[in-house]
Amino acid sequence: MKINLKELKYNTLKSLRDLGNNNNFLKFDIKQARSLLQTIKFIEKEYNEFEELQNKIVESNGERDKENNLIFQENNGLKSVSIKKDKIKETQQKIEEAKDKEFEINFEPINYKFIEEKGIKISNVEYLEALDGIFIIDK
């Protein structure tokens, strides 16, 4: 199934990690467990590549001081790089394009009944359910 980072929220990765934690992991058969671990690693790699690209985009369009250091701004207690005024739209567009990059997930969805029967606990399970049968089926 093809998906992109816009569809695959960061909390989805957190929920998958919960699904693959030691208490839950031991409840899966070998094939399911291996598929889950491979999927988690693959999605982590995609997120890491996106974050690296996003950082490069922001750094290349960020405002700099006289010593060529990036200038940071604070908004509601969060620090971020101040983007050059004439580069804001371009920066946003490039980041959105990076989020649109599609990749293939080869994961056999887990039946919701199995999750209930095994007593598997997943935080934010709604992020897995929202992806229309990619990770969980038959709710």
Every domain of the chain and the residues it spans: 2-137
Segment 12-59, tens digit of pLDDT: 888 888 888 878 888 888 998 899 899 999 999 999 999 999 999 999
Which pLDDT band, with edges at 50, 70 and 90, does 132 fall under?
Answer: low
Segment 104-121, tens digit of pLDDT: 888 888 888 888 888 888
The C-alpha angle 67, 76, 130, rounded to 5 degrees, equals: 110
| Local structure of residue 23 (DSSP, 8 states) | H
Which H or E run contains 103?
strand 103-104
pTM for this entry = 0.81
Q: Where are the alpha helices (DSSP H) in the chain?
A: 10-19, 22-25, 30-61, 88-100, 112-118, 125-129
Which pLDDT band, with edges at 50, 70 and 90, does 139 fall under?
Answer: low
